[in-house]
Chains A and B, each alone.
Chain A
Amino acid sequence: MSINYSRITAFIFLLFFVLYSYFASEIVVFDFDEDADFNARTFPLLISYLGIGVSFLTFVLSKNDGQTMGQYEWLGVIVLFVLVFTYGIIIKSIGFFLSTNLFLMAAYYHLGARSYKVLLLCSLPVVAGMQFMLHQLLGVYIRDPFLYSLGIIS
């Protein structure tokens, strides 16, 4: 049995469904529901059995499709992932306007845009337009300490 990415993924899913099955059996139900035909445990347990079955079959039957992972642009995606994560961390503290502009400019820069004009024109008007649409047209209020400190929003 050769090792390939499909087989490894199927094995990870197999472990996931075994764990899921364990946690499903640990769901605490009401005493009167313990021996009921159907309780909060029943459906998750059925899914876990099915999941274990299909992931085991995939694990056994997967063929080596010659797939390699080295050909892909991992670093580019991981940096984007970190940028999205950082955006999530700062969005509340510094506000929507500033955090979104920083996120967009950093992402443009990371993906190869170097012109200041592009960096500014593709972020500032987009974010301002979006915030205007949300506040003025859709009535969605986003807390923004930065714009509040400038007196732009109340």
Chain B
Amino acid sequence: MNDGILIGLETAFAGYNIFMVVVGCFAGTIIGMLPGLGPMSAIALMIPITYGFDPASAMILMAGVYYGAIFGGSTSSILINAPGVAGTVSSSFDGYPMAQRGEAGKALAIAAYASFSGGTIAAIFLLVAAPQLAKVSLSFHSADYFALMCVGLLSIAAFASKGQFLKAMIMTCFGLALATVGQDSLSDITRFAFGNINLMDGISFVLLVMATFAMSEAFMIIFKKTDINFKASDVSKKKLGSIKLSKAEIKEMVPVIGRTSILGFLVGVLPGAGATIASFLAWGFERGIASAKDKLKFGKGSIKGLTAPETANNAACTGSFVPLLTLGIPGSGTTAVMLGALLSFGIQPGPRLYVDQPELFWAVIVSMYIGNVVLLVLNLPLIPYIARILAVPKNILVPLVLFFSVTGVYLISFNNFDIYFMAIVALISLVLRTMNFPMPPLILGFILGGMLEENLRRALLINDGSFSFMIDRPISLGLFIVMILIVLMQVYQIIKNRQTNSRDELT
């Protein structure tokens, strides 16, 4: 393990990779700040650029973009009450009121310190937890992996659906169905290509991510007539106010950071749950344990109320790397995109990654520390300048996002068909998103589809075609019980909602 850490340190501190962290954090902050464009879009836009890189540098860049985007999202939440990222919605509850009373600089500083602390503490947890989990997962069989992936798919459908579990499940099935297009990995039989040569290799993962996130987000800005225009003068240094925090304010933040970084990390580790759930839970948790006097301040510019979600969302980002790096199962939609990127590099994340490619495993973890420092050093003094990106009018921003999306996909294949296909997928996903059909389950289904089929095939062949493997092994059985619990919880939720609605209709 020590050798691995040393190799990771060497890789992460290579000048080129430090440059990648800086670029990633900077680009992520800018993209994350733009309302509508979240970390998934930001990472999707980066994938084509990383194709010439070695996998470690690419992952370092994408990890930087991830927490940069979360930080950028906080900035637009605080300054204009328009969260760029779902994970920073709860930051606007207290951040925006602070900005309104002329303490925008202070709110941004609190967000920066909380994000830094949350990310750094979680990176320490990751350093300890990831190798342990990787060791445990070495004993996993195909049946266990199959069960684990099913848990991942079910839980992302449960968490990402915002009460629309069935719709999320449709999207999961749709993603799994799209993953079956092209050649079957074992028999080489072509499926669902209908004689179209462009579909014989399957649907490109980058195309799907770009179309469902970056391109459909750009369409959405026009579709919903979102007003994202913002005056550059609103983020001038004078208007932001001081970024200095008093000793009393820091004292108020410290215990909140301690509690919510643990909470955020644990939520991040859970498959399906991510920064959004972590930040809401942390805000609610801190409000719940606050004194009656402090409770009244929540939602009106409370320091605790801003510190909690900011710490938790960054800790959750780091936590979501645990299942990705150790089990090869993404903990969130964003890490699902990263998993797809890793697979396209020919790297299979999972327990073997820790043994076979320690430089990648450890470099990503070490780069998180560097990334957190970079975010603090780079963003705090530069916020008044970076935030001017919010002043870019949508009639300039939307075509540019479309251009980067199309170019990103075209540069991989140089195939016009991909552009047509991408435009159609983007239009379909725009309509589906308008009707509350979530996209992360589709992406996770698409990415895990191939692995799910592989593991199911192996498990069935070992068990002579019997599905008894689900209950034969303790790990599979445990995961199978978790699956049933998730489904039962959702069924209960659906019944409860229907009862409430019919009661409302009667009254």
Contact = CB atoms under 8 A, between A and B. Distances in A.
Interface of A: 5-6, 9-10, 13, 16-17, 20, 23-24, 27-30, 33, 37-40, 42-44, 47-48, 50-51, 54-55, 57-58, 61, 63, 67, 69, 72-74, 76-77, 80-81, 84-85, 87-89, 91-92, 100, 103-104, 107-108, 111-113, 118, 122, 126, 130, 134, 138-140, 142-143
B158 interface: no
Contacts of A29: 187, 189
Given A38-B461, A51-B177, A91 B403 contact: no
B166 A47 contact: no
A128 to B, nearest CB: 13
B177 A20 contact: yes
Contacts of B3: none
Interface of A is mostly: helix
A81 B398 CA distance: 12
Contact of B407 (A28, A89, A100): A100
A130 B407 CA distance: 10
A142 B406 contact: no
Given A89-B416, A140-B411, A37 B464 contact: yes
Interface of B: 49, 52, 166-167, 169-170, 173-174, 176-177, 180, 184, 186-187, 189, 191-192, 215, 218-219, 222-225, 393-396, 398-400, 402-403, 406-407, 410-411, 414, 416, 419-420, 422-423, 426-427, 430, 432, 434-437, 452-453, 456-457, 460-461, 464-465, 494, 498, 501
A77 to B, nearest CB: 5
Given A47-B176, A100-B407, A40 B170 contact: no
5 contacts: A9-B437, A33-B187, A43-B457, A81-B219, A113-B393
A122 B189 contact: no
Contact of A13 (B170, B407, B457): B170
B398 A111 contact: yes
B173 A51 contact: yes
A130 B191 CA distance: 37
A108 B392 CA distance: 13
